[in-house]
Structure 1
Amino acid sequence: MDTAETRLTFRDATDADVDELLALIESAYRGESSRTGWTSEADILHGQRTDPEGVREAIESPGSRLLTVERDGRIVACCQLEHRGSYAYFGMFAVNPALQGAGLGKAVIAEAERQARRTWGVTEMHMTVISVREELIAWYERRGYRRTGRTSPFPYGEERFGIPQRDDLRFELLVKPLV
């Protein structure tokens, strides 16, 4: 049986990947294409998830890596890792919607955690998730992340991050010890 981990290549993104990564991220979270998978935010946010500048910043910023995942020469997933002292921040996580639900996301997050430990010697991984995304939070909890109850405001009015369709959005911090 073919597993999600077979034939995966992990590498750091380059500026040449920006357009393909942007298309992947948008397809995983927004619009009709996102509804193919289960991580869609299409019902709570319209507009864009990020922009070329946001992707480029994740690639080029010191202490940041945009981990790109390829299968058979095609980019199928990505995530940002950012070194923040004793912990790494995990964000901009996207898996091709047609490939969701088959273990690819689990393989990506496991590799991201391994690389953060190895590269920076961090002891925790942090991430923020929109608090109303209960199914997604439960998925992260099954991967060992815990809810902290600490929240931060959603950037209402900044269309660069999307157009909210509800007024109760906020980010919740999830944390996992990396041992």
Structure 2
Amino acid sequence: MTLPTPSLPLRDTARAYGRITRLLHWSIAALMLWQFIGMGLRLALGRTPLVSFFVGSHQQVGTVLFLLIALRLLWSLANRRNRPGHGAGLPGLAARLGHGALYLVMLIVPVAALLRAYGGERGFAPFGFEIFAAQQPPIGWMVGIGDALHGELGWLLLALIAGHVLMVGLHEGMWRDGTLARMAGGRRRAGP
């Protein structure tokens, strides 16, 4: 049996995530998919026109991602008392920790890139607007930290996202608790 889904509000509720949260979530997901496809192709194929097509937009897409992630965090804080709960006990704690890790790594990855860009000799000018001028000479420790964290934590982020998707699959396939419906829409099941 399925229950009809009432019209979706802008803000989150205890039963479902609102339109703004969903828009931010799925926009971030699509842009991250673009970034990971580009980096995966770069690892697999090296420098090719196809790889250049994806990787050539990495800085611009990363900039938009950073802004969307910051908005998502602020929106999450503004809605923290209205959002669907993660549940009680160990599964609820694991869900809260998993989401916390996702948010933390989603922030650190672009901050590391910004640190590297600020200290680097190329500057930072996404979409043609200079944010940071090139450093002459480069600030080695900034570039070093950025180089050490950005790529490695990017792959950790991919692993966290894979875990997130796997858990959604468990919620839908095994527990049938409507978790996917709260974020993706559709009808919510009345029970097992």
TM-score, normalised with respect to structure 1: 0.24
Structure with larger Rg? 2
Bigger share in helix: 2
Bigger share in strand: 1
